[in-house]
Amino acid sequence: MCAMLLGIAVHAQELRSVSISGLEITYPAGEKAIVSRVAEAVPGMLGFLREKGLPVKTPVHVFLDDDLDLPDVQVNMIPHRGIHIPLRAPGVFEEGYLQEDPWTYFLFKGLCLQGVYSVRGGLPGSLHAVFGEVSSPNLVNPPWLLEGISSLLYRQYSPEAREDPFEETLLKVPVPADISKMSNHPDAWPGYFGYRIYGKPFIAWLHGRYGWDALLRFLASQGSSLLPVEIELKARDVFGTGWVTLWDEFMEEAGLLKGTNGMEPVSGFVPGPFITWNHAGVDPGIKRVRHRGRYGYYGENSTLWLSEYDREGIVHVIGYPSTGSSVALDMDHLWDPGPGNVAVTRVGSRPHLMVFEKGAGVLETQLRGGRLIPAPGQVMALSGPVMDTHGRVAVSANSGGNWDIWVYDGSWLRITDGPSIEADPWWVGDTLVFSSNTDGSFQLYTSAMVPLTRCEKGAFLPRSGKYMCLTGHGWSFDDYGVDVYAAPVGQRQRALMKDRSELPSTPYSPWDSICPNFMAPDLYVGLSDVQVGLATWGHDVTGDYGVSAGARWSFAHDYLALRAGVILDELSLQLTRYPFVSDPVVGPKTEESRLEYRLTWAPELPDWLSLSVDVLDYGPLEDLGEDDVEVSGVLGVSEEYESLYFRAAFESCSAGRTSLFGGFRWIVGSDVYAVVDGEAGRTWGGYTFGHGSYRVGGDVGEGYFTSRPSRLFPVRGFGANLLEADKAVTTGLEVFWPLANIQRGHGTLPLFLHRLWLGTFVDAGLCADSMGMDDTLAGAGFEVVTSFEVAWGNLSSFRMGVAWPVRQPGYLDEEGPLLVVQIGRPL
């Protein structure tokens, strides 16, 4: 497959590459100044990590990712050893916000994790020799351990790195007595990133007591383990005691207070109406885990506007109306919305203020226009802009790791210029107030540096007379006032010369990173079959080019299923060999061996469109049957919004039939919410069973490498593949009722329960040539759903319930109850 790709010319003018010491660094062409600094640091970083016993295996593909906003490095071992560094510089109080060069810092962190993940031995080491990088037990480590080791080594590599005063402030209040709450737990104090706040000093303390060799021995033990989720016994072997005891001893020696009961994590708030938010949700409002930003405002149409990162690490501005579901502003890379419809965006790595106008929209709020204001030349990040009634915008800006307050009123005015951190600006008439640690602890000040607060631990986020005060019992929301009003005074910004860095580079080619470095065992277990096999896949650093291959043996049919695929930017080709078996109650059984070819064009714009050509070559699976070849053309559309997803496909087949089918999923509500979904399809021009037909049943897992949209529709409460016809429609309504906010784990066991819900559902459907009401089938039931985190940082869910058939055609005789079980996403 890779050889096939090498014969195709690719030219990506917008990306460049540079190779140094086994690292292939890919970057947008306009960002050579950043990459020059990054490349210069590579040899020293690799040498330092080698001396620490964490040599980095090369090649490593480093991508300065223009699409990535999430403020942290992303490290992968498969399909190639890769490091993705966000092109966006971190905002205030985000990971790396105090670094003079955050991109170099993220590179060190990525290389450090590459070194940690490569530590392996014993049977995992032997498996690595066979299956490649898929065998990396140190990937399964608690984030507080990985964050602590990275931070420890970075401070040794770069002793001048600044300590984070915000994290130090949070250590002055009680900390969790349970070590399990140090991981990614959005509803547990102090919030989603507790592992950073506590993991750094904890591992530094551990290093001071036992030394680096002991930490390295633990990584070696973990890297040789067949049960990487078990870390307690390994700690006892290396340190003489377990992690729970070590955490207790650390808290005692560090003088930290225990117990966070009743302490609620808060990322941001607005005072009128009073609303808070964190990674767990909005209060009052929607309770869904999202990576939410610090800043927001309550605007027109009774809507709370704030920023969130999506699954791809792209930041968006999201609106939460007082009633109904959330809506997104239709623009990527936009964050920190503030009063006056002002937010921050970027062009490449350079931040800009954006003053925008919102238009109407049912599923998305449209941008009707906007004005971009480039940041001053030396500024690499902007955070928390707010506009006053005169159109002046105050914002916190980062120059070389130092955060100060700036004002834009037609030109840039620098208000503060000191080594302290100034953030969270707010206008009180003509007076500017903000949070600063100029005197040691964070308090509120005016632009004349007149103190306004004496909060116990620290004062943050002034908002319309209210601010967040950190106390020994968590966050409180207190009042502040301004006695002396004065307009801000500062120094006008002068133009700076552009960076003239020179960097020898070559045009980017995807072929160096596209071939996979692993082969993974593959397993499928369903109601009607068990399949085992091997699979692999690969893509280049951009994700625009890829290859895949796999094989599975079906024990139910004694059949070898195969697949192979290639992606070439907007084009993809998929080859699939699989068995197809359907045994409906009404109609003949279909048993076929199928070989399917699919060529697809999915343009970048519009991204909701796809066109494909399918060739299906089929014959009997075992006994005698029909052999034929069908050619189909498929036009597909799909789109996803904050609360709605839909898809549809129109298919025209050489057999003389046409089909139209699709579905939707809509989520509405907040604490109590409902999920409404539906699927429908119809075929014209005749059909045969298994060709052009639709199936309705309770088992929606098929388990093969099928590439066309599924024609199997679910109705819970019934068996699998009950009905088959040329027309089908199903719909479902499930209401989720909150039962308990668990937020508990157990010591070092890597399983942490979040929330418990009761889901009550009703499904209904029709699948018949006549589609009369007598053919209706309906099922109902309930399930208990819990969201959880397993193996540190992997969010999932578990569902278990029962369903009954409540209505069915006379020719069916289904009985209940049926058990409904699902772990994670549907198969």
Residue 779 CB partners (closer than 8 Å, separation 6+): 698, 715, 716, 717, 718, 762, 763, 764, 803, 804, 805, 806, 816
CA dihedral in degrees (809, 814, 816, 819; nearest 10)? -110
Lowest mean pLDDT among 78-82, 474-478, 793-797: 793-797
625: exposed, middle or buried (Cβ count in 10 Å: 0-12, 13-18, 19+): middle
Closest CA to 704 of 557, 590, 563: 563
Residue 498 confidence (pLDDT) above 80? no
Percentage of residues of the chain with pLDDT beyond 70: 93
713: exposed, middle or buried (Cβ count in 10 Å: 0-12, 13-18, 19+): buried
Residue 587 confidence (pLDDT) above 60? yes
Closest CA to 768 of 730, 806, 732, 803: 730
Q: Please, which pLDDT band fits residue 527 given cuts at 50, 70 and 90?
A: low
Q: Which pLDDT belongs to residue 289?
A: 86
332: exposed, middle or buried (Cβ count in 10 Å: 0-12, 13-18, 19+): middle
Does residue 721 contact residue 699 with C-beta atoms inside 8 Å? yes
Q: Is the peptide bond before 488 cis (omega within 30 degrees of 0)?
A: no
Residue 573's DSSP bridge partners are: 566, 599
Amino acid at 217: R
Distance separating alpha carbons of residues 695 and 703, to the nearest angstrom:
16
- 80 or 622: which leads in pLDDT: 80
Distance separating alpha carbons of residues 133 and 313, to the nearest angstrom:
24
Q: Strands, E, within 136-182: which ranges?
A: none
Mean pLDDT of 190-200: 93
User: Which two three-digit tokens encode residue 162?
Assistant: 């600044």
Per-residue pLDDT tens for 530-553? 889 999 999 999 999 999 999 999
Query: Which DSSP string do the residues of 333-359 spell out, in sequence order?
Result: SEEEEETTTEEEEEETTEEEEEEEEE-
Distance separating alpha carbons of residues 112 and 55, to the nearest angstrom:
9
Query: What does the chain come to in residues?
Result: 827
Amino acid at 638: S
Per-residue pLDDT tens for 703-758? 555 544 578 888 999 887 689 999 999 999 999 999 998 877 766 777 788 889 99
Continuous segment of H or E residues that includes residue 744 = strand 727-746
Does residue 73 contact residue 83 with C-beta atoms inside 8 Å? yes
Continuous segment of H or E residues that includes residue 205 = helix 194-210
Q: Please, which pLDDT band fits residue 5 given cuts at 50, 70 and 90?
A: very low
Residue 821's DSSP bridge partners are: 800
Residue 41 confidence (pLDDT) above 50? yes
Q: Please, which pLDDT band fits residue 364 given cuts at 50, 70 and 90?
A: low
Instruction: Provide the whole-model pTM.
Output: 0.91
Residue 724 backbone phi and psi in degrees, to 5: -145, 130
Distance separating alpha carbons of residues 612 and 633, to the nearest angstrom:
6
Query: Which DSSP string do the residues of 560-620 spell out, in sequence order?
Result: EEEEEEEEETTEEEEEEEEEEEE--SSS--EEEEEEEEEEEE--SSSTTEEEEEEEEEEEE
Q: Which pLDDT belongs to residue 288?
A: 85
Residue 797's DSSP bridge partners are: 787
Distance separating alpha carbons of residues 422 and 425, to the nearest angstrom:
8
Q: Which pLDDT belongs to residue 826?
A: 41
679: exposed, middle or buried (Cβ count in 10 Å: 0-12, 13-18, 19+): buried
Q: In this structure, how many other beta carbons lie within 10 angstroms of the beta carbon of residue 50?
A: 12
Q: What does DSSP say about strands 327-329 and 315-321: parallel, antiparallel, or unpaired?
A: antiparallel
Going 527 to 528 to 533 to 535, the CA torsion angle's sign is negative
Distance separating alpha carbons of residues 628 and 618, to the nearest angstrom:
6
- 25 or 504: which leads in pLDDT: 25
Give the largest Cα separation in the chain, rounded: 93
Per-residue pLDDT tens for 650-703? 999 999 999 999 999 999 887 889 999 999 999 999 899 989 999 898 655 555
Q: Please, which pLDDT band fits residue 382 given cuts at 50, 70 and 90?
A: very high
Per-residue pLDDT tens for 292-329? 999 999 988 889 999 999 999 999 999 998 876 778 88
Amino acid at 269: F
Distance separating alpha carbons of residues 184 and 191, to the nearest angstrom:
8
Q: Strands, E, within 300-414: which ranges?
A: 303-309, 315-321, 327-329, 334-338, 342-347, 350-358, 364-365, 367-374, 381-387, 393-399, 402-408, 412-414
